[in-house]
A and B are shown apart, each in its own frame.
Chain A
C-alpha cells in the first residue's frame, strides 16, 4: 500500500519570504502522480501543483515549485514570496498511474503566513 508522510504539522513564514514543505512517500510503483493540494480555512481544497513521476523536470506554477527526488521518494513544495492568502493546510498526495483518482493523502501541514 502507498503511504504519504508529511512530518511538519505546522509551519510559519513571514510575508514575502520563502518556505519549503516536506513530503515523503512510499510506493513500489514506477509510474505515478504527485500533487500538492491547498485547503484554506473553511474553503474548498484546490490543486496547487502536479508532478508526473516519469518527468524529470520539476513542476512550477508561478510562486510554487517542487523538488521531486524519485529515488529518495521525496516531493517538497517551495513557496516563494509568501502571501497572506497562502495561509492554509497543505496536503501532499499520491496517485498510481491507473488508480482512477484514488489518492493517498498525507496528514497535512498547516502553514501560517504572518504579516
Chain B
C-alpha cells in the first residue's frame, strides 16, 4: 500500500513569490492535514480537509491556503512568501473516523527555503 506522497520534496523560493505544495494521501483516506515544522516553533497545525471541506484551521495568516480535490489529493498554497515561511511542511492523511481516530500517516514533507 503506497504511503503519503508529497511533492516537491525540496524547493527554494525568493521573498514575495508564491508556492504550491501537493499531497497524495493513502488510498481510502479522506482526511488530509497539513503541519508546518520549524526549529523555533515546532510542529504547528495549518488546516485539515475531509471530503473537500476544510473542517479545521490553525492560526496562520490568510497567505496560507489549501484545498482538497474529489480524489482526496490536497494542495496548500503560500502567497507572498516571507523568510519566516522557511520550514518543513508535513502532510498527513487518516481515515478520519472510527476507532483509529487521530492515527495520522505522515509524508516525508516538502522542505521550503525562502531566500
A binds B: yes
A residues sitting closer than 8 Å to B (CB atoms) are 33, 35, 37, 43-47, 50, 91, 95, 99-108
Complex Cα distance, B90 from A59, in Å, reads: 26
Q: Which of A33, A43, A101, A106 contacts B92 (CB 8 A)?
A: A101
A-B contact count (CB 8 A): 58
Complex Cα distance, B11 from A84, in Å, reads: 32
Query: Which residue of A has the minimal Cβ distance to B59?
Result: A1
In the complex, the answer to whether B107 meets A100 with C-beta atoms within 8 Å is: no
Complex Cα distance, B44 from A106, in Å, reads: 10
* Whole-angstrom distance between the Cβ of A50 and the nearest chain B Cβ: 6
With an 8 A cutoff between CB atoms, is B56 at the interface? yes
Interface string of B77-115 (1 = CB under 8 A from A): 000000000000010101010000111111111000000
In the complex, the answer to whether B108 meets A33 with C-beta atoms within 8 Å is: no
With an 8 A cutoff between CB atoms, is B8 at the interface? no
Q: How many residues of B contact A (CB 8 A)?
A: 27
With an 8 A cutoff between CB atoms, is B58 at the interface? yes
Complex Cα distance, B46 from A101, in Å, reads: 11
Contact residues in A for B35 (Cβ distance below 8 Å): 103, 105
Q: Which of A44, A50, A99, A102 contacts B103 (CB 8 A)?
A: A50
**14 chain-A/chain-B pairs, Cβ below 8 angstroms:** A33-B102, A37-B104, A43-B108, A44-B3, A44-B109, A45-B90, A45-B104, A45-B106, A50-B103, A101-B102, A101-B104, A102-B56, A103-B104, A108-B42
In the complex, the answer to whether A101 meets B43 with C-beta atoms within 8 Å is: no
Given A45-B90, A105-B42, CB of A99 within 8 Å of CB of B56: yes
In the complex, the answer to whether A35 meets B90 with C-beta atoms within 8 Å is: no
6 pairs of A and B residues whose beta carbons are closest in the complex: A105-B43, A45-B106, A100-B55, A100-B56, A101-B33, A102-B56
With an 8 A cutoff between CB atoms, is B75 at the interface? no
* Whole-angstrom distance between the Cβ of B92 and the nearest chain A Cβ: 7
In the complex, the answer to whether B45 meets A44 with C-beta atoms within 8 Å is: no
Contact residues in B for A50 (Cβ distance below 8 Å): 102-103
Contact residues in B for A91 (Cβ distance below 8 Å): 43
Contact residues in A for B58 (Cβ distance below 8 Å): 102
With an 8 A cutoff between CB atoms, is B31 at the interface? yes
